Amino acid sequence: MGLAKVFFWGLLVSFLGTLPLGTLNVAAMQISVQESIINAIYFSLGSLTTEMIYVRISLVGINWIRRQKNLLKWMEWITLVIVLALAAGSFIAATHEHHTKNVIFNNNMNRYLLGVLLSSITPMQFPFWFGWSTILFTKNILQPKNSFYNLYIIGIGIGTFLGNCVFIFGGKFIVEKLNTNQKILNYVIGTIFAITAVIQLIRILIHKDAINKLDHLETPGKLSS
């Protein structure tokens, strides 16, 4: 029963956490619309692979992560640059009559590897999952055992995939049903990325980024390294 509960909580938190508009789920939606559903699924699998690895690291090495402030700061700024590039790519595609694809995705890079890459430079995953893991430890739902860690992480991976599927299939369905013009779609997606970039920049400037969140999270003994 305990293993089933920790699996369920990992799945639920991950699914709900994937639903707000963000860089990765919007990118997955854009790939599904402008390329194919299978490419979007590969991208999603790549992003959730990195997320699962990050969760495992956060469970056993949060104190080490906290000491890597320079690395996390660089990751924050790199994320900002990439989101700005995604926004610019969408706007550029929208202004070209015969170029409807985001120029950032106009390459032959394996979509699984692209998902791994974009997800790996998103340090906000650390405080998000560390915070939820702390709550689950406190409520004795998550226990410091490999069996619990493994089921928890599998649940997280499935939850992230299901959440991304909402964007992958939902975005494709809406575009096809409404017969949305690709130019309009690129403007909308570009605007979403631009807003995300502004929010990211504000977080960095007012010190509400991943580093600040990690510094203000309490470390229970079970998560100490």
What sign has the CA pseudo-torsion 99, 101, 105, 108? negative
Distances (CA, A) of 31 to 57, 90, 154, 221: 29, 12, 25, 42
pLDDT reading at 225 higher than 80: no
pLDDT reading at 219 higher than 50: no
**Is 123 contained in some domain?**
yes
Extract the tokens encoding 4: 């089933």
Phi–psi pair at 193, nearest 5 degrees = -65, -40
**What pLDDT, in 10s, does the model give residues 34-85?**
889 999 999 999 999 999 998 988 787 655 555 666 767 777 787 788 888 8
**Is 224 contained in some domain?**
no
**What pLDDT, in 10s, does the model give residues 2-17?**
789 999 999 999 999 9
**Is 118 contained in some domain?**
yes
Q: What is the largest CA-CA distance in the chain?
A: 58
Amino acid at 81: V
Residue 35's nearest CA partner among 114, 142, 131 is 114
Q: How confident is the model at residue 163 (pLDDT cuts 50, 70, 90)?
A: very high
Is the pTM here over 0.85, yes or no? Answer: no
- The secondary structure element, H or E, covering residue 111 is helix 111-120
- Full domain range(s) for residue 132: 2-216
Whole-number pLDDT of residue 64 = 59
**Is 212 contained in some domain?**
yes
**Is 222 contained in some domain?**
no
**Is 117 contained in some domain?**
yes
**Is 53 contained in some domain?**
yes
Report the alpha-carbon distance of residue 127 to residue 148 in Å, rounded: 20
The structure tokens 């595609």 sit at 93
**Is 140 contained in some domain?**
yes
The number of folded domains in the chain is 1
